[in-house]
């Protein structure tokens, strides 16, 4: 029985770390595949005009281990360095049917995770000092988990139930394309909930909005086409639109919501999901928009890790 368990682990490892030709492939930033941390800080940076970002990026390669500090690089920075990553492009902006989905690009994103807020604050301060020659931090969102292992959104619904797991999570989130193998692409949006509006809805209406029953997380057969899980049913797309979601609640003063965080081997699945949510396909908008709205939206390339350091060879560094 014990031997059987060990065999399973070895098989999963091989799938995760080796491409088809059995040569070791660069690792991905492990925060992508790990369970959501207890606490996190999402922070974005602009690149300072007239500065050369290379030295700061090389310093970041050693400081961002991909596990406690995940780094994502925006399209503007990739092109400033004279390179192109085919999968990376501008975040789409939508406006219509009473919905605004903004595109708010940034040069750099760091996702700092941990379980001690003070330690995260100090880590962030040091990173800012290290990057100061070429980057300025423009946004900080402190995020957390709600209800321990249940990983709930602040509305009380479990978030992440239909996430792919094991080798499927790796195939969904991690690119194996030669040249960037081990990379991932991150779609991120800060959503702000109107909790007064949400609380004013009867609980069966809240369940219809999500398409699941909050009390037991059961999917509702009778949910309308606007229900969030009907809009985003990953297997209903052609091709299937799987993403690996690692979203976390945020709160500041009286404001709160969700930092929607999704990783993919490219951005196609996220974009297909978002288009259906805003009604681009059939004019039906996601019922989520009745109580929450996105304030930001950006895409980032999360480079692979080689020998414990970020591998920026795709950018010539």
Contact residue for ligand HEM among 120, 292, 298, 310 (CB under 6 A) = 292
Of 174, 173, 106, nearest in space to 141 by CA: 106
243 near ligand HEM, rule: CB under 6 A: yes
What is the C-alpha separation between 73 and 69, in angstroms, rounded?
Answer: 13
CA-to-CA dists, residue 201 to 194, 197, 218, angstroms: 11, 7, 19
Q: How far is the CB of 246 from ligand HEM (least distance, A)?
A: 11
259 near ligand HEM, rule: CB under 6 A: no
**Bond before 61 cis per omega within 30 degrees:** no
Contact residue for ligand HEM among 229, 244, 302, 314 (CB under 6 A) = 229
Residue tagged 């925060």 (tokens): 31
Are the C-beta atoms of residues 229 and 223 closer than 8 Å to each other?
yes
Contact residue for ligand HEM among 33, 57, 77, 210 (CB under 6 A) = 210
CA-to-CA dists, residue 304 to 21, 163, 187, angstroms: 18, 22, 17
Stretch that binds ligand HEM, among 17-25, 85-93, 112-120, 230-238 (CB under 6 A): 230-238
Contact residue for ligand HEM among 109, 120, 180, 258 (CB under 6 A) = 258
Q: Which helix (H) or strand (E) element contains residue 300?
A: strand 298-302
Determine whether 311 is an active site residue. Answer: no
3-state helix, strand, coil in the chain (%, to 5): 30, 25, 45
277 near ligand HEM, rule: CB under 6 A: yes
Closer CB to ligand HEM, 188 or 305, in the complex: 188
Q: Rule CB under 6 A: which of 138-197 touch ligand HEM? A: 153, 157-162, 189, 191
Residues that bind ligand HEM (CB under 6 A): 153, 157-162, 189, 191, 210, 212, 228-229, 232-234, 243, 258, 260, 270, 273-274, 277, 288, 292
Q: Which residues are catalytic?
A: 159
């Amino acid at each position: 029985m014990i031997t059987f368990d060990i065999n399973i682990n070895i098989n999963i490892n091989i799938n995760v770390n080796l491409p088809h030709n059995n040569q070791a492939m660069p690792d991905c930033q492990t925060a992508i595949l790990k369970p959501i941390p207890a606490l996190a800080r999402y922070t974005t940076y602009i690149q300072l005009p007239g500065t050369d970002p290379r030295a700061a990026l090389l310093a970041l390669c050693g400081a961002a281990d991909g596990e406690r500090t995940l780094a994502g690089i925006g399209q503007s920075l990739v092109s400033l360095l004279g390179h192109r990553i085919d999968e990376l492009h501008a975040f789409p902006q939508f406006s219509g049917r009473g919905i605004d989905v903004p595109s708010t690009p940034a040069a750099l994103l760091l996702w700092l995770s941990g379980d001690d807020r003070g330690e995260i604050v100090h880590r962030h301060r040091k990173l800012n000092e290290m990057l100061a020659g070429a980057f300025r931090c423009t946004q900080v969102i402190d995020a957390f988990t709600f209800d321990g292992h249940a990983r709930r959104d602040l509305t009380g619904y479990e978030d992440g139930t239909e996430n792919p797991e094991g080798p499927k999570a790796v195939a969904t989130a991690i690119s194996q394309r030669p040249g960037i193998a081990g990379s991932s692409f991150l779609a991120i949006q800060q959503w702000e909930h109107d909790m007064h509006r949400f609380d004013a809805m009867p609980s069966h209406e809240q369940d219809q909005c999500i398409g699941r029953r909050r009390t037991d997380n059961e999917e509702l057969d009778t949910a309308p086409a606007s229900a969030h899980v009907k809009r985003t049913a990953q297997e209903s797309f052609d091709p299937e639109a799987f993403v690996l979601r690692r979203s976390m609640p945020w709160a500041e003063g009286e404001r709160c919501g969700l930092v929607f965080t999704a990783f993919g081997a490219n951005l196609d699945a996220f974009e297909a999901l978002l288009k259906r949510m805003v009604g681009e396909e059939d004019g039906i908008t996601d019922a989520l928009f009745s109580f929450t709205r996105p304030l930001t939206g950006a895409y980032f390339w999360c480079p692979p890790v080689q020998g414990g350091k970020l591998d920026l060879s795709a950018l010539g560094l």
